[in-house]
Amino acid sequence: GAGVSQTPSNKVTEKGKYVELRCDPISGHTALYWYRQSLGQGPEFLIYFQGTGAADDSGLPNDRFFAVRPEGSVSTLKIQRTERGDSAVYLCASSPPGVLLFGYTFGSGTRLTVV
């Protein structure tokens, strides 16, 4: 696609439920990143994929968070047993292979609200 697409744009869920957030990167972009942005803060890194594998998952806050990218394109961020503190905007970004002298392309995010 022309840009990074994230669905849904908004998600409201009850505490304790399971949610999935989807990211469709720019075609041909091998690297994919997930960030979480809480109100009034800058984005915080969660996980980075190079192709199908997670190259760095050091930002995942705990084992309730998991992400996959089975075919090296679309990625799904999965949150189990959601808590109110998980409420945030979840941003996805992608970048092409090779030397990177420019910023990543971000999607518009999924606003997750846990009630």
Partner 1 sequence: AQKITQTQPGMFVQEKEAVTLDCTYDTSDQSYGLFWYKQPSSGEMIFLIYQGSYDEQNATEGRYSLNFQKARKSANLVISASQLGDSAMYFCAMREGRRGSQGNLIFGKGTKLSVKP
Q: Which residues bind partner 1 (CB under 8 A)?
A: 31, 33, 35, 40-45, 48, 50, 55-56, 59, 89, 91, 93, 95, 98-109, 111
Residue 13: exposure state from Cβ atoms within 10 A (0-12, 13-18, ≥19): middle
Euclidean distance between CA atoms 30 and 15, whole angstroms: 34
We find the least distance from the C-beta atom of residue 58 to partner 1, in angstroms, to be 8
Closer to partner 1 at the Cβ: 82 or 110?
Answer: 110
Least Å distance, CB 6 to partner 1, is 10
